[in-house]
Amino acid sequence: MKEFAKIKEIEAEVEKLVEKAKKDSEKKIINAERTRDETILKEIENAKRLVKEDIEKEQGKAKEGIWDIKRRSKADIDHVRSSASKNMGEAVKFVTKTFTGE
């Protein structure tokens, strides 16, 4: 009888250890899932940040390109105005010479 009681006692102790191991495993699984989810969220946030930075860089390049085009256009317009002014001056001199004979 003592042996049977001892066996039952050991079985109960083993059952407690098994239950404790199950609870510990469940906690570890929950923690691992939480950690995985947090890692995924961090990666998503990092990817968003990188995409935003890339967009901002490209917008900066586009703005620089637009300003460059505007500067070149202004320079071209100024050159045309200067040439037109010079040509008008030449035309006035020619007409003046023609009519005055000088």
Domain boundaries along the sequence of the chain: 1-73
CA angle 82, 87, 90 (to 5 degrees): 130
Sequence-ordered strand ranges (E) for 5-69: none
The chain-wide mean pLDDT, for the chain, equals 88
3-state secondary structure of 84: helix
Per-residue pLDDT at 4: 79
pLDDT at 84 over 90: no
pTM: 0.50
The pLDDT confidence band at residue 54, using thresholds 50, 70 and 90, is: very high
Check if the beta carbon of residue 102 is closer than 8 Å to that of residue 96.
yes
DSSP conformation class of 1:
-
